């Protein structure tokens, strides 16, 4: 696991600038660094040594030195690819997974990406044609950013690495702010830095002479096949265990994160690791915000060590700005901070961990997926009448049951924009001081829904989450929090072969009115205690709702809401109104408040502290 950065269009002191850019991402690779500079390009690399510790340093070259590789990730089928390429006459100088990419590109060109099983972001520079080829894995497990500033093309693993370059112009993209207020993350290829873009999952590009051509090489294709729940449970168990085994490839010790739920528990049991890691929070609310007891009990049943930490509120709030810095873009998912602390804990013992990200999106794990099939007497009313009632209810004070009426009066395309839905377009327009051209959340999601318009409602919801939520929230926080602590995080659920199976599972083997992830839970029951296999998802829950009603944290947020940056971008009287209504117990507005506060903290890290 590593980090890279590079730029075209040579500049004065390019070597010094390149190394300063590399230093910004030293946390991604503290073990070694490497650089390549020619008359057209500068390439920099930071390495966290996992495979071929002695000889796997980058950049890596092909036999004649005309191709130069920078790579972040792991290729789990690299032994097979290596044997294939050796049989075709290629010569290898290392035993690393990285080298299969440079020889694979020689042999297969851009079709290489379709042969890879793993998580990856990489670039290959062809010195002869002065062509840059870059690619990102199908799910977006590993990050990739790029920007054209003047005549310079910048690219790398983190946006912060661009900041030292003299051509980089740091400017806030307010359209991204509008989208973020609805989704709690940045959902489009554009980022919060104007002119900086994400290379989206399952895309590759070819850059030459200042021109960039983007290609999408893969899309999820849910095509259910016949089969019983028992059949698919057997297939899930077999396929997941094979994926876990592939993901264990390493020359260093591998551990596992462990919450109290099925996803991480299944991975930990299948991986047969020696160490698992768990965090929880101080709370007066029983075990609602602390899964340590459950995790330790489960770890004992499978005979592994569990190492845990209780996070205090003071630690959480103190580390929060530092964590938002590492995110590159604001992410208002409170669980990101828990993930940072469990990564920090694990990094004291291992260099690699496994985790359960992706199970909910692939196998139908979110409770919201039950909504389309959980019908009541109210749903027997004609849709036009429910729509009318919903429109009226939308203008009423937020009481229990109001949101139900609103949602039942909308189609799935209107009501579901993913697992986070914070401010509506109307609410954010009321909040923002500066109007933008940002489309509504529904308009942003429409092209994704269009790709699966012939699928059932639950599948359409899953497809949207795979394309937006998974990349923008789940995997962003997984990569950035782990790499902030120089820890490699692997996600066996997000595997080519696991996805191929998930695409075949019928909807009634994914979700019913009683529970979610049916096939996965049935598979887990073969080896996990029933209590674990059937337990509802918690996933390192955080007591933000409670803290925002406590005076120290209320005052901290209020100060941010009245700061100069807040006054620049928001109607601050509306921000304070939200905060006060939450503190007074009139509404639970914690997610809205946290979304705005997160942006202001992130803004302070990159554009100056709130004052």
Identify the CATH number of the domain in which residue 349 sits: 3.40.50.620
Q: Among 16-25, 287-296, 555-564, where is mean pLDDT lowest?
A: 287-296
Same domain, yes or no, for 182 and 246? no
Q: What is the pLDDT of residue 288?
A: 56
Residue (of 533, 501, 528, 504) closest to 518 by Cα position = 533
By the 8 A CB rule, do 278 and 306 touch?
Answer: yes
Among 533, 556, 585, which residue terminates a domain? 533
Please tell me the predicted confidence (pLDDT) of residue 252: 81
Residue 47 confidence (pLDDT): 77
Average pLDDT over residues 397-424: 85
- CA nearest neighbour of 105 among 32, 204, 17, 197: 204
> Whose structure tokens read 């770890």?
299
Q: CA-to-CA distance for 228 and 226, rounded, in angstroms?
A: 7
The answer to whether residue 434 sits within a structural domain is no
3-state secondary structure 482-501: HHCCCCEEECCCCCHHHHHH
- Residues of the chain with pLDDT > 70: what percent? 95
Co-location of 198 and 300 in the same domain? no
pLDDT at 249 over 90: no
Q: What's the pLDDT at 2?
A: 85
Residue 407: its pLDDT value, please?
79
Output phi, psi for 458, to 5 deg. Answer: -65, -45
Are 45 and 66 in the same domain? yes
Q: Confirm whether 444 is domain-assigned.
A: no
Residues 32, 94: one domain?
yes
Return the active site residues. 2
Per-residue model confidence (pLDDT) at position 56 = 57
Residues 67, 61: contact at Cβ < 8 Å? yes
404 band by pLDDT with thresholds 50, 70 and 90: confident
Contact 134, 199 (CB under 8 A): yes
Dump pLDDT digits (tens) for 428-477. Answer: 999 999 989 999 999 999 999 999 999 999 999 999 999 999 999 999 99
Q: Give the 3-state secondary structure of residue 541.
A: coil
Best CA proximity match to 31, nearest among 345, 252, 328, 248: 252
Q: Which domain holds residue 499?
A: 229-364+467-533
The answer on pLDDT for 542 being more than 60 is yes
Determine the pLDDT at residue 611: 42
Of 191, 216, 241, which residue sits at a domain end? 216
Contact 593, 557 (CB under 8 A): yes
Average pLDDT, the chain: 92
- pLDDT category at 1 given cuts 50, 70, 90 is low
Q: Is 222 part of any domain? A: no
- Give tens-digit pLDDT for 545-579: 999 999 999 999 999 999 999 999 999 999 999 99
Residue 183 and residue 94 share a domain? yes
Please, which pLDDT band fits residue 36 given cuts at 50, 70 and 90?
very high
Residue 324 · residue 605 · CB < 8 Å:
yes
Number of structural domains found in the chain = 3
* 386 in a structural domain: no
Is 246:281 a contact under the CB 8 Å cutoff?
no
CATH number of domain containing 117: 3.60.20.10
In a domain, 420, yes or no: no
Task: Output the pLDDT for position 580.
Answer: 96
Same domain assignment for residues 135 and 195: yes
Q: Is residue 449 part of a domain?
A: no
pLDDT number for residue 499: 98
Residue 413, in any domain of the structure: no
**Which 8-state DSSP code applies to residue 328?**
S
Q: Is the pLDDT of residue 245 over 70?
A: yes
Query: Are the C-beta atoms of 205 and 213 separated by less than 8 Å?
Result: yes
The pLDDT, as a whole number, for residue 215 is: 98
Asked if residue 57 has pLDDT above 80, the reply is no
Contacts of 348 (CB under 8 A, 6+ apart): none
Q: How far is residue 445's CA from residue 472's CA, in Å, rounded to a whole number?
A: 13
The pLDDT tens digits for 303-359 are: 999 999 999 999 999 999 999 999 999 999 999 999 999 999 999 999 999 999 999
The phi, psi pair for 270, rounded to 5°, reads: -70, -35
Per-residue confidence (pLDDT) for residue 411, from 0 to 100? 86
* pLDDT score, position 45: 93
Both 206 and 341 in one domain: the answer is no
Clarify whether residues 199 and 235 are in a common domain: no
Domain boundary among 216, 238, 263: 216
Question: From the centroid of its chain, how far is CA 128?
Answer: 36
Say yes or no: 60 and 145 in one domain: yes
User: Is residue 243 pLDDT above 80, yes or no?
Assistant: yes
Which of the two residues, 405 and 517, has the higher pLDDT score?
517
The pLDDT assigned to 293 comes to 86
Each residue's pLDDT tens digit, 481-539: 999 999 999 999 999 999 999 999 999 999 999 999 999 999 999 988 887 777 666 55
Compute φ and ψ for 361, nearest 5 degrees.
-70, -40
């Amino acid at each position: 696991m590593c980090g890279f950065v590079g730029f075209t269009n040579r500049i004065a002191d390019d070597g010094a600038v390149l190394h300063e850019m590399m230093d910004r991402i030293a946390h991604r690779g503290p073990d070694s660094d490497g650089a390549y500079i020619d008359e057209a390009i500068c390439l920099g690399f930071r390495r966290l040594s996992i495979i071929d510790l002695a000889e796997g340093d980058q950049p890596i070259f092909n036999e004649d030195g005309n191709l130069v590789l920078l790579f972040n990730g792991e290729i789990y089928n690299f032994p097979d690819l290596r044997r294939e390429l050796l049989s075709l006459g290629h010569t290898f100088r290392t035993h690393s997974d990285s080298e299969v990419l440079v020889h694979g590109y020689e042999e297969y060109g851009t079709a290489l990406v379709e042969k890879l099983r793993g998580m990856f972001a990489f670039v290959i520079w062809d010195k002869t044609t002065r062509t840059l080829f870059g690619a990102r894995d199908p799910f977006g497990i590993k990050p990739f950013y790029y920007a054209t500033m003047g005549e310079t093309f910048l690219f790398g693993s983190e946006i912060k690495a661009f900041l030292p370059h003299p051509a980089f112009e740091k400017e806030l993209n307010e359209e991204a702010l509008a989208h973020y207020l609805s989704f709690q993350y940045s959902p489009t290829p554009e980022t919060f830095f104007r002119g900086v873009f994400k290379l989206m999952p399952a895309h590759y590009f070819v850059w030459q002479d200042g021109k960039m051509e983007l290609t999408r090489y893969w899309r999820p294709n849910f095509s259910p096949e016949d089969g019983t729940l028992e059949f698919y449970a057997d297939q899930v168990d077999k396929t997941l265990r094979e994926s876990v085994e592939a993901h264990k490839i390493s020359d260093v010790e591998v551990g596992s994160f462990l919450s109290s739920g099925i996803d991480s528990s299944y991975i930990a049991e299948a991986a047969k690791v020696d160490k698992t890691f768990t965090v929880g929070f101080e709370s007066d609310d029983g075990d609602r915000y602390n899964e340590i007891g459950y995790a330790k009990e489960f770890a004992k049943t499978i005979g592994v060590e569990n190492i845990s930490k209780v996070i205090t509120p003071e630690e959480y709030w103190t580390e929060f700005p530092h964590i938002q810095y590492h995110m590159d873009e604001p992410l208002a998912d409170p669980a990101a901070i828990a993930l940072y602390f469990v990564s920090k804990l694990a990094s004291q013992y291992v260099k690699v961990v496994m985790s359960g990200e992706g199970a909910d999106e692939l196998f139908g794990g979110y409770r919201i997926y039950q909504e389309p099939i959980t019908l009541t007497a109210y749903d027997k009313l004609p849709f036009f009448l429910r729509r009318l009632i919903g429109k009226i209810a939308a203008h009423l004070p937020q009481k229990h049951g109001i949101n139900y009426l609103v949602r039942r009066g909308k189609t799935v395309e209107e009501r579901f924009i993913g697992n986070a839905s914070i401010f509506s377009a109307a609410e954010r327009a009321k909040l923002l001081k500066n109007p933008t051209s940002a489309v509504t959340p529904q308009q942003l999601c429409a092209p994704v829904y269009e790709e699966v318009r012939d699928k059932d409602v639950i599948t359409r919801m899953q497809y949207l989450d795979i394309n937006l939520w998974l990349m923008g929230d789940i995997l962003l926080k997984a990569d950035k929090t782990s790499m902030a602590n120089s820890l490699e995080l692997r996600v066996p659920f997000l595997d080519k072969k696991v996805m191929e199976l998930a695409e075949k599972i019928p909807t009634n083997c994914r979700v019913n009115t009683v529970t979610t992830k049916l096939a996965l839970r049935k598979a887990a029951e073969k080896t996990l205690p029933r209590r674990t296999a059937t337990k509802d998802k918690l996933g390192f829950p955080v007591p933000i709702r409670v803290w925002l009603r406590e005076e120290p944290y209320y005052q901290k947020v209020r100060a941010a809401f009245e700061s100069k940056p807040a006054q620049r971008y928001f109607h601050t009287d509306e921000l304070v109104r939200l905060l006060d209504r939450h503190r007074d117990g009139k509404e639970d507005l914690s997610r809205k408040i946290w979304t705005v506060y997160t942006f202001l903290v992130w803004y302070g890290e990159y554009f100056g502290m709130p004052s």
